Amino acid sequence: MLNALRTLTFTVTAALTLWPAPVLAGPVCATDDTGTEVCLEQPASRIAALSPGATELVWSAGAGEKVVAVVSFSDYPEAAKKVTSVGSHTRMDLERLMELQPDLVIGWVTGNPPEQLEALRELGLPVFSIEPRTFEAVSHTIERLATLAGTEADGFTEAERFRQGIAEQEREYRDAEPVPVFYQVWDEPLMTVNDEHLIGKVITLCGGVNVFGDLERLVPRISPEAVIGANPEAILAGGMGEENRHWLTRWEAFPGLEATSQDNLYFIPPSLVQRPTPRLLEGSRLFCQKLDEARGKR
């Protein structure tokens, strides 16, 4: 690993001497979600986004045309599919990434391997790591990315649109009757989220009560027996793909579950709620509609 890194460092150093001199537009700085201040001599013009959520957020910040590298499953917006992929969020091709000459890398705090992000820093790349866990943090992340990209006009407008949309939903569902909810984030192993997770905050926003909300881990593993014991009134799940609801079929085998007996088994396209992006506004509206359906069956 060390020899490979040295070789890559030499290659990058040689390449840097051939890059055209940038047109200076003044330094920009922002603090990332690890508490690290990242400063650029000028707004970024070549951005690498190392998670599908980061890709969406950069586009939301008005800087989509500056994205030169993404990772697998970066499928939104449509234009992101045409950008060069440098692997997955857990296994990146560092040499390919460096060939694309990014001047800003958007990392994922808990998703990208720390050693790979550190390798990029050692190669001299500015790494801005993000992990928005609240609705406000989504807006704030868009604003910080817009600052680093020099696209404040578009980014701040989008951040405020999302902020106001969430505030409107909070007012609408403030007094909604509670619905005990189990949200399935993965199938094998069976996984859910706690109340600190952004999806947990969507549940609360809609007047739901997360039956596993007080578990310690952000994304805890659970057993089918635990779900049966909690007996949620509604079960919502994503799945492997935007139209694949097969994760819900296992619960149809348990007619004693209230969610099953009331036919409150609901599919939510995963990218709408499992990525910390402005599409959470669309996803939370759909989530709230499903809980309204459950209330209507009482």
119-138: pLDDT as tens digits: 999 999 999 999 999 999 99
Which of 117, 141, 164 lies at the terminal end of a domain, its last residue? 164
In a domain, residue 1? The reply is no
In a domain, residue 119? The reply is yes
In a domain, residue 14? The reply is no
| Six-digit token string for 246 | 């097969």
Q: Are residues 137 and 228 in the same domain?
A: no
Q: Are residues 151 and 57 in the same domain?
A: yes
Give the pLDDT of residue 20: 41
In a domain, residue 86? The reply is yes
Give the pLDDT of residue 23: 44
Give the pLDDT of residue 244: 66
Which of 113, 138, 164 lies at the terminal end of a domain, its last residue? 164
Shortest CA distance to 205 belongs to which of 171, 230, 239?
171
Give the pLDDT of residue 243: 61
Q: Are residues 157 and 179 in the same domain?
A: no
Q: What is the pLDDT of residues 147-204, one digit of tens each?
A: 999 999 999 999 999 999 999 999 999 999 999 999 999 999 999 999 999 999 999 9
For every one of its 298 residues, what pLDDT tens digit does the chain have, with 9 covering 90 and above?
A: 434 444 444 444 444 444 444 444 689 999 999 999 999 999 999 999 999 999 999 999 999 999 999 999 999 999 999 999 999 999 999 999 999 999 999 999 999 999 999 999 999 999 999 999 999 999 999 999 999 999 999 999 999 999 999 999 999 999 999 999 999 999 999 999 999 999 999 999 999 999 999 999 999 999 999 999 999 999 999 866 656 678 899 999 999 999 999 999 999 998 899 899 999 999 999 999 999 999 999 9
Q: Are residues 188 and 251 in the same domain?
A: yes
Question: Which neighbouring-strand residues pair with 192?
Answer: none
Which of 105, 132, 164 lies at the terminal end of a domain, its last residue? 164
The CATH number linked to 224 is 3.40.50.1980
Q: Are residues 111 and 150 in the same domain?
A: yes
In a domain, residue 216? The reply is yes
Domain span holding position 82: 26-164
Give the pLDDT of residue 179: 98
Give the pLDDT of residue 71: 97
Specify the number of domains making up the chain.
Answer: 2
